[in-house]
């Protein structure tokens, strides 16, 4: 990072002041009403809508991202999620009647949906607007205050967000912290009512341990190696086109990008040819002007090293087409990859696609299940039984047939991982739920003691036999035969 950039980082003293200001803002109760939440959500929508062109310029500076890709993958999903929250927040936040047995009907049990308090959102570089503001939408809809810590790697977008947030949003409700490791470390020393971190598993462990020290609940979105399983009888051209798009969109720097392909040996040639055909249709002149760049030299060198050390056969792209000065890695296809290959040692997070040939789908499932649960799992098939076999015998954050990436943007679907690929949910209603405390509540009338008075000492069998718990006991005895 340049000295000029570091000079703009938030001071550690200011972080303490921000935390205190947001605590006071939350205690003031200004975000309790639905109207106040809608106001902040509307302002967030205006923040993005009014500055679309500035954001596109910042994306181009940070990631070399094409304006249409910036709109489609980052800005428009943010606006869509904002509109959904504005329209539905009243319904989401409504107190619910709790399901209950007749024994407790008189207590009028309900579930109150209340904000957790002041939350911390630590966002990554790859989708810096959507993965910062997307969770913020859920937090605001739930009535929370929030500190945003965008990535220092996407500096131009981060700096723009830090400039715009104070102009559009209440500073007692939302603040932005600029910085890198020292600033994030300082943030993690403070108590939060919820922490959401999106990024690598290595840092996720640090965040989790830091949260434990302050009893701050932590949600993680961590990624992993998401496989694509190919049925040899599938529509190979469509499969190749969609998988390649998943690898070239944002230069493969997507947590749910297909990381590798598992395909029967006899179909590998056909799939490789379909990938080459798709590549030719995407980049007919091989100029790659519309392709995003790798975010930083260190990330470029990591990807270059993985390709340098592969024992597979590079059939497209490769080292000769890499542009280190421009941080460009062209779509690279590597076939004949084995389990112990360098490309299988970690999440690729770039436009490099290894193909692992297997003998059959059972071998593919065995390989998947030997490794950490992925954030996404893709299968390409027109055979319902093939799809069911893959989905029913694996575990992943999402399970998608004949498509890639779009599950994250689909309204109504949760976006999150399981196990080492993460926990919690980032967007829409599921983010609202994550940042909401479900507060159990009931209101018991005084006459209930005529029915449940046996709970008070002195205890007698006669009174006990008249209580609702005893009726449940009898019902269990009559309907269950556990001892046969």
Residue 303 CA to residue 337 CA, distance in Å, equals 16
Residue 111 CA to residue 387 CA, distance in Å, equals 38
Peptide bond into 458 cis (omega under 30): yes
Residue carrying structure tokens 């998943």: 246
Q: Largest Cα–Cα distance in the chain? A: 89
Sign of the alpha-carbon dihedral angle for 289, 278, 409, 128? negative
Name the catalytic one among 255, 264, 347, 408. 255
255 catalytically annotated: yes
Output the CA–CA distances (angstroms, integers) from residue 327 to 64, 114, 175, 296, in the order listed. Answer: 9, 46, 32, 7
The β-bridge partners of 220 are 197, 423
Task: Report the side by side order of strands in the sheet with 258-264.
Answer: 313-316, 332-335, 352-358, 258-264, 226-230, 376-380, 398-401
Provide the 10 A C-beta neighbour count for residue 345. 11
Provide the 10 A C-beta neighbour count for residue 399. 17
| DSSP string across 102-149 | GGGGGG--EEEEEE--EEEEE--SSSTTHHHHHHHHHHHHTT-EEEEE
The alpha carbon of 111 is separated from its chain's Cα centroid by a whole number of angstroms, namely 26
Residue 344 CA to residue 262 CA, distance in Å, equals 12
* Residues 10-14: contacts with CB under 8 Å, at least 24 apart: 10/177, 10/178, 10/179, 10/183, 12/182, 12/183, 12/186
Helix 181-188, helix 201-213: angle, nearest 10: 40
Name the catalytic one among 221, 264, 268, 347. 221
Give the list of residues 6+ apart from residue 280 with CB closer than 8 angstroms, or none: none
| DSSP string across 285-321 | T---TTSPPPSSHHHHHHHHHHHHT--SEEEES-GGG
408 catalytically annotated: no
Q: Judge whether 396 and 407 are in contact, CB under 8 Å.
A: no
> Apex CA 478: angle with CA 477 and CA 483, to 5°?
55
Q: Which residues participate in catalysis according to the annotation?
A: 221, 255
């Amino acid at each position: 990072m340049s000295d000029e950039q570091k000079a703009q980082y938030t001071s550690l003293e200011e972080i303490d002041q921000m935390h205190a200001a947001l605590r006071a803002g939350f205690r003031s109760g200004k975000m309790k009403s639905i109207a106040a939440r809608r106001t902040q959500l509307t302002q967030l929508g205006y923040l993005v809508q009014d500055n679309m062109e500035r954001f596109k310029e910042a994306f181009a500076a940070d990631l070399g991202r094409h304006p249409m890709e910036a709109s489609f993958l980052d800005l428009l999903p943010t606006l869509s999620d904002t509109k959904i929250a504005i329209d539905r927040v009243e319904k989401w936040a409504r107190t619910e009647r709790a399901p209950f047995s007749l024994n407790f009907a008189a207590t009028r049990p309900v579930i109150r949906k209340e904000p957790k308090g002041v939350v911390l959102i630590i966002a990554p570089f790859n989708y810096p607007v959507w993965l910062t503001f997307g969770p913020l939408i859920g937090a605001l809809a739930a009535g929370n205050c929030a500190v945003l810590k965008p990535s220092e790697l996407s500096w131009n977008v981060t700096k723009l967000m830090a400039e715009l947030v104070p102009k559009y949003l209440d500073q007692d409700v939302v603040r932005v912290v600029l910085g890198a490791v020292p600033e994030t470390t300082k943030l993690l020393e403070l108590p939060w009512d919820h922490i959401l971190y999106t990024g690598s598993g290595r840092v996720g462990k640090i965040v989790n341990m830091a949260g434990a020290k302050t009893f701050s609940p932590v949600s993680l979105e961590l990624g992993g190696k998401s496989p694509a399983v190919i049925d040899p009888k599938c529509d190979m051209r469509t499969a190749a086109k969609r998988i390649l798009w998943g690898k070239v969109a944002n230069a493969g720097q997507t947590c749910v990008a297909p990381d590798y392909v598992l395909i029967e040996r006899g179909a590998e040639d056909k799939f490789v040819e379909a990938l080459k055909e798709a590549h030719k249709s995407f980049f007919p002149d091989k100029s790659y002007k519309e392709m995003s760049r790798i975010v930083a030299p260190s990330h470029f060198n990591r990807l270059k090293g993985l390709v340098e050390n592969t024992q597979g056969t590079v059939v497209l792209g490769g080292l000769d087409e890499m542009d280190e000065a421009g941080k460009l890695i062209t779509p690279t296809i590597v076939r004949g990859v084995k389990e112990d290959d360098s490309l299988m040692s970690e999440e690729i997070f770039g436009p490099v696609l290894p193909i692992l040939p297997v003998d059959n789908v059972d071998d593919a499932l065995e390989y998947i299940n030997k490794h950490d649960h992925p954030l996404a799992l893709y299968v390409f098939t027109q055979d319902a039984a093939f799809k069911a076999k893959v989905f029913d015998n694996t575990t992943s954050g999402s399970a998608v047939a004949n498509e890639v990436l779009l599950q994250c943007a689909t309204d109504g679907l949760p976006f999150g991982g399981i196990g080492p690929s993460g926990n919690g949910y980032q967007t829409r209603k599921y983010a609202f739920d994550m940042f909401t405390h479900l507060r159990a509540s009931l209101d018991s009338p005084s006459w209930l003691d005529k029915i449940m008075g046996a709970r008070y000492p002195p205890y007698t069998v006669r009174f006990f036999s008249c209580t609702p718990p005893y009726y449940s006991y009898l019902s269990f005895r009559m309907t269950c035969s556990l001892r046969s």
